[in-house]
Amino acid sequence: MTGMRAATATTRPGRFVRLLMLAGAACAALVMSGCSTGNPQPISASALAEAQTFPYFKIYWVGHTFFGYHLGATDGLRSYISSTGESLYYGDCVQSKGIFGTGTCKLPLQVTTVIYHLHSNEPLGPQENVLLRGVPATIYEGGRSIELYTGQVAIDVYSDTAQHALAAVTRLRPVNAPGSALSPLPLPIYCPGLSGSVPAGVAKVMAHLPGRACQVTAARHAFDESLKH
């Protein structure tokens, strides 16, 4: 998981490098109420095109703006790193791809899409497993971070408030493929490594994933364990 909050131990440490960077993201100047950037400009058409033409998998966004904040930067193909995925950044703190100011200003939203690799969510700390947009999802960090499992990818939503995070989930749609925020997300083709309590509704969906993904994963795990004895 990547994001914009203080890093938590995970099996994907490379993605949390951005987490630490975003936790210290800031505006260029301070005003009485906090921070200001002097009317930052929306992302350029050429920069957005990098996301719109990304060829490897669907990447998700919430549109050109989010609660009045412009989309400020995208990772794009030229800066793609498979372990960290593709991110789109919203808010006044964005200066360019992955580069932010100093101070206390935080991005209201980062959306990261990454190819899913099996891992346990246990290191995330207190969390809740739910269904969002028709797919299994994990809510953690007091609701400010949400990971959704869909297709071959995980979509990580990192926001400044729980309300913004949930609002972003309702607006997710592909930036480089057809799709609508009004439709359910595609079911994952893998079995997410959920931790903790799994509600009945989530368990039912997990039991009927394409290719019986969770049953296959459980069988492989049981076989691997049998070889140890």
pLDDT tens for each residue of the chain, 229 residues long: 544 443 333 334 344 334 333 333 333 222 233 334 444 568 899 999 999 999 999 999 999 999 999 999 999 888 899 999 999 999 987 755 554 444 566 789 999 999 999 999 999 999 999 999 999 999 999 999 999 999 999 999 999 999 999 999 999 999 999 999 999 999 999 999 999 999 999 999 999 999 999 999 989 877 677 777 6
Here the tokens at position 189 are 């083709």
Whole-structure pTM value = 0.79
pLDDT at 81: 92
The DSSP letter of residue 83 is: T
Strand 94-96 to 65-66 pairing = unpaired
The DSSP letter of residue 64 is: S
Here the tokens at position 151 are 């297709």
C-alpha distances in Å from residue 121, one per residue of 8, 9, 21, 225, 227: 11, 10, 22, 20, 25
pLDDT at 92: 81
Here the tokens at position 47 are 């920069």
Q: Which of 29, 28, 30, 9 is nearest to 19 (CA)?
A: 9
pLDDT at 1: 53
Q: How many CB atoms lie within 10 A of CB 1?
A: 30
Here the tokens at position 200 are 């009945």
pLDDT at 229: 66
